[in-house]
Amino acid sequence: MDYQDTEGKPKEACGVFGLYSRELAGELAQRTYFGLYALQHRGQESAGIAISDGERTTAMRDMGLVSQVFDGPRLAALEAGHLALGHVRYSTTGSASWENAQPEFGGRGDVNVAVAHNGNLVNAGTLRDSLAEDGFRFYSTSDTTYIAAAAVRELERGLSVGEAVRGAMRRFEGAYSVAMIFRDKLVAFRDPHGFRPLSIGEVDGGYAVSSETCGLDIIGARFLRDVEPGEVVVIDDEGLMSYRAETPRRALCVFEYVYFARPDSRFDGREVADSRHRMGELLAEEAPAEADVIIPVPDSGMMAAIGYSKRSGIPYAEGLIKNRYVGRTFIQPTDGMRQLGIRLKLNPLPSVIEGNRVVVVDDSIVRGNTSRKLVELLFEAGAAEVHFRVSSPPIKGPCYYGIDMDSPDQLVGANMSVEEIRVQIGATTLAYLSTDAMVAATQQRKDRLCRACFDGDYPITGTTSKFALENKTHYVATRGG
């Protein structure tokens, strides 16, 4: 973990948002802006909005946070329409470029689509080659381009939109939750495993789709249901049409529960916050500690720390104060000022820490660097003991499904025992939540979740080194979102 950007956590790749409403035609850009605001945690590098009246589409996208990319005049410059797409993006280092900001556009002749994507295609290289054989030329390096091109290829055959998208989906392997505009239709679809979330709501005579339900709440939309794994939803003046497909194995990313999703979002009708509380409670049962106070690593460990406190009976307190205004781009301290780096973000409260046996709760440990600095900070502030508790299991492998998780050699959990990690971070004791308890806290069946980075059970056969190789060599595209 490294405080040089965000909290050194794995990065969620993207958030998507879509809106269809004739009643709201004059304010679609603003509603989409609000939707993206709620999804900002899913991607902080670029933001974009496209508005269409079914014939003309205007779009604006740029690097930066939603509030940096858009202001009143810019939103007003987007023409009125009854279809909207929005996107926030995080990309892997080196691929953060304007060209890869979304929504992306694809087209040939009079068949044009705008696409916003969250996920990662594991077969992007072979898909690109086969689309090139179909005559497509690519200038963007995002796999979203290939999704757009494959949809265009099928639409050219004259199929209905639903059938065309289903046809395109047969060519995709990996994680994709997508919102797309084609002419006067808003289309939303999700890969057959359902790795990334996507929900539908009803709003002012129309519909909204959002990566998370918090994007629906903010615009006053009423949650209807999730887009099902493998489902294509087509929204137009006729209403909502659904095309469903067989799902080989559901695999919603368990990390959405642990860290990525906003706590006020809901999956299958249950609040993410509730799952995080339960993770903390189960952690207290599995890994109790003799201590005087429970503190969270803000904000990621907060819910689990409250749960740990509730179950253990040990008081909860905020012992680390976070500076909420340190963004990704703040000037880094030099190596000689190493410890300053973490102090810019977090400052301990001696009145809570001094002389106390402290349990500090975080949601995950990726590389271990930040955890070590945190423990140092707590001892410097006078902690008598520091018991580190993690509300998920050790991360043992990379993610191929849309999360920017490091290669195995950078994951401390893949290379060290728990005791070796404890020594490395300097904690008095260290314990993680078990995989079974993490799954139990979600109240989902184990076989309906992806847990691959924790237990190596990759839902798509073959997504191990073969695809890592494709990602590093043949496939140079960046993750779509």
Catalytic residues: 14
Yes or no: say if 88 and 46 are a contact pair by the CB < 8 Å rule.
yes
Whichever of 57 and 265 has its CB closer to ligand SF4, that residue is 265
In degrees and rounded to multiples of 5, residue 39 shows phi and psi of: -100, 10
Tokens 């492998």: give the residue: 397
Binding mask 228-267 for ligand SF4 (x = CB under 6 A): -------------------------xxx------------
Tokens 């043992």: give the residue: 396
**Closest to 248 (Cα-Cα) out of 448, 456, 398, 452:** 448
Whichever of 312 and 442 has its CB closer to ligand SF4, that residue is 442
> Least distance in Å: CB of 392 to ligand SF4?
10
In whole angstroms, give the CA distance from residue 69 to residue 413. 37
> Least distance in Å: CB of 266 to ligand SF4?
18
Query: b/e map of 444-453 (b: 16 or more CB within 10 Å)?
Result: beeebbbbbb
Residues 390-429 that bind ligand SF4 (CB under 6 A): 399, 401, 403, 405
Residues 178-237 that bind ligand SF4 (CB under 6 A): 195
What DSSP line would sit under 65-113, residue for residue?
-HHHH--HHHHHHSPP-SEEEEEEE---TT---GGG-SSEEEEETTEEE
Residues ≥6 apart with Cβ < 8 Å to 293: 314, 315, 316, 317, 319, 352, 353, 356, 357, 358, 359
CA distances in angstroms from 84 to 115, 242, 282, listed in the order given: 11, 19, 42
Cα end-to-end span (Å), the chain: 21
Whichever of 235 and 441 has its CB closer to ligand SF4, that residue is 441
Interaction between residue 273 and ligand SF4 (CB under 6 A): no
Yes or no: say if 136 and 113 are a contact pair by the CB < 8 Å rule.
no
Residues 422-461 that bind ligand SF4 (CB under 6 A): 450-453
Whichever of 52 and 392 has its CB closer to ligand SF4, that residue is 392
Query: b/e map of 381-416 (b: 16 or more CB within 10 Å)?
Result: bebebbbbbbbbbbbebbbbbbbbbeebeebbbbee
Whichever of 289 and 450 has its CB closer to ligand SF4, that residue is 450
One-letter amino acid for residue 227 of the chain: V
Helix orientation angle between 418-425 and 369-380, rounded to the nearest 10 degrees: 50
Total residues interacting with ligand SF4, rule: CB under 6 A: 12
| C-alpha radius of gyration, the chain, whole number | 22
Whichever of 103 and 197 has its CB closer to ligand SF4, that residue is 197
> Least distance in Å: CB of 255 to ligand SF4?
4
User: Collapsing DSSP states into helix, strand and coil, what is residue 19?
Assistant: strand
Q: How many CB atoms lie within 10 A of CB 139?
A: 6
> Least distance in Å: CB of 230 to ligand SF4?
16
Whichever of 176 and 195 has its CB closer to ligand SF4, that residue is 195
Whichever of 216 and 439 has its CB closer to ligand SF4, that residue is 439
> Least distance in Å: CB of 165 to ligand SF4?
22
**Closest to 298 (Cα-Cα) out of 355, 363, 382:** 363
Residues ≥6 apart with Cβ < 8 Å to 160: none
> Least distance in Å: CB of 125 to ligand SF4?
19
> Least distance in Å: CB of 196 to ligand SF4?
8
Q: Which two tokens stand for residue 219?
A: 């615009």
In whole angstroms, give the CA distance from residue 93 to residue 47. 17
> Least distance in Å: CB of 94 to ligand SF4?
20
Chain residues binding ligand SF4 by CB under 6 A are 195, 253-255, 399, 401, 403, 405, 450-453
